[in-house]
Amino acid sequence: PTLDALAARSTRFTHVWAQAPNTPRSFPSLITSRYPSQIAWQKQSLNYSPLLPSNRSFFEPLAEAGLRPIGIFSHFFFTADRGISKGFAEWSNEGAKSIADSNKDIASPRIVPRVIARLRKAAQTGERFVLWTHLFEPHSSYMEHSEFPTSLSGIKGLEEKYDYEIAFADLWAGKILAALEETKLDRNTAVVVFGDHGEAWGEHKHYFHGQDLTEEQLRVPLLIALPGQKARVVDDEVGLIDLGPTLVDLVGAKPLPTFRGRSLLPLLQGQPLPPQPVFAELLPSTATPSHEVAMVDQGMKIVHKISERRWELFDLKNDPGQRKNIAENPSYRQKFEELRAKLLAFEERRR
């Protein structure tokens, strides 16, 4: 109910793609506003490779504009040596579990009280800030929560746990939103809620995430609530890579020349933006040997399975589940060649 209520007063983006189907690639892409292959990694083949210091973060121009960047987490991915804390004035990752224990961890109760305490401090000092936190729930392995006891088993039981993990995250997100209201920070604070990847439930013989560039693994929610702004629904095709440039534009800061995303501020203001393709990548790593690149362009999706030397084409308007490959359909031959050329041009530019 918390996120539903937030969505009812937000700009809700209905067609949003992560630039990778897993956290180790998606978050770095988000904070740098660059595609995974354009990021400088210490060792790209590692599933959890740290970033090199040469990468730029959209939190840097936010800091230059007078906002204090604050990061509050509790997960092994957010250790300071990961390379994603660049540009932050404060970075807290207290209580983070090891990699082995992280997927069976319940982190929100450790994170949210610290977020609330920091918001109260900001309200007292009057400082301008940008605060990023990440609630790990919902995430595999799906945990049981005392607030939401489960009753099913097997796949249905997994689905039930996933639903209850969403409810659990909603509960704790509600505490953050309540703190904003209690401190009156909600009157001049933008709230952004997003997911960093999707989740598969056997639609393409995979479960969880990180294996391919299917819709269920890439599509994510995105809500942006601005004080005093009317709610709207935006159906334009956008990527998480656009979030950083949007927030930089929102505060009137200068975008980094390294950005590859674009500002969506006109869409937040009810103004149109010309259509632009959205790309996603699955880079080969120690976790997944597959190499894939995909592009969504005005309802059509083309996938280059590089490691398999194969192409796929989908009409998402008529096939939103990405079930019917029409790459060999003569009726789509011209469209396939047009999109193939666009995707190959992107692959060439990213080198």
Q: Average pLDDT over the chain, rounded to whole?
A: 91
Two tokens, residue 185: 């920070």
- Helix 108-125 / helix 154-182 crossing angle, nearest 10 deg: 20
Q: Under a CB-based contact definition with an 8 Å cutoff, are residues 268 and 290 in contact?
A: no
Q: Using one digit for the tens of pLDDT, what is the confidence trace for 267-279?
A: 999 999 999 999 9
What value does the mean pLDDT take over residues 204-229?
Answer: 88
C-alpha–C-alpha distance, residues 68 and 147, integer Å: 35
* The pLDDT of residue 100 is above 60: no
Class of domain 2-274: alpha beta
Q: Using one digit for the tens of pLDDT, what is the confidence trace for 142-168?
A: 666 667 667 667 677 677 778 888 888
Number of other residues whose CB lies within 10 A of the CB of residue 195? 15
* DSSP string for residues in 111-162: HHHHHHHHHHHHHHHT--EEEEE----S-SSPPPBTTB-----HHHHHHHHH
Give the per-residue pLDDT at 82.
87
* The pLDDT of residue 257 is above 60: yes
What value does the mean pLDDT take over residues 186-215?
Answer: 86
Q: Where are the domains of the chain?
A: 2-274, 291-349
Range among 73-77, 109-113, 245-249 rated most confident: 245-249
